[in-house]
Amino acid sequence: MGSTFSTPSAITSGHKHSSGLQSTSMKVKNSLEQMKLDLKSHLNEFSQSAQEQKLSSSMLKTEQYQIRMQYHMWEKEIAHLKTQTTNECAEAENIHCCTMESKQMDLEICKVDIEMLDKEKELLNLKLLLAEAQLTAPQLGEGSSHTSTVS
């Protein structure tokens, strides 16, 4: 019968032992909970960082697209300006050629006018000589007929 009854010190010792197990179990449980919280915190940080990187990547892609579009528009504008400049140069060259042809024709007209004026001058000089000759010819004729009648 003595074996079925426990001594008070054995009961207290068993109680202390089970209380120590509960304390260790609680410490492990608390440690596991803390680890879970730490892991969740790290996971949230990684998730937030990933979201920020996605946003940053998206913004950079948008900026890259805008820059490409701007570059494309500048290329189009440059091509348009080159075409416009080429057309303006061709038009200016055409106008210059027409102006030069017109001035060349004006020069030819002036040369023909000069030749015509020279011919008119020559004609007028000949008419003047003829008129002088006609004026002096009747006097010569009168003088010879006068001299022939006097003799």
Say what the pTM is. 0.47
Residue 145 has pLDDT above 90, yes or no: no
- Which has more pLDDT, 151 or 42? 42
Residue 130 has pLDDT above 50, yes or no: yes
- What's the pLDDT score for residue 7? 52
- Which has more pLDDT, 52 or 137? 52
- What's the pLDDT score for residue 142? 61
- What's the pLDDT score for residue 143? 56
Say how far apart CA 75 and CA 55 lie, in whole Å: 30
HEC string for the chain? CCCCCCCHHHHHHHHHHHHHHHHHHHHHHHHHHHHHHHHHHHHHHHHHHHHHHHHHHHHHHHHHHHHHHHHHHHHHHHHHHHHHHHHHHHHHHHHHHHHHHHHHHHHHHHHHHHHHHHHHHHHHHHHHHHHHHHHHHHHHHHHHHHHHHHC
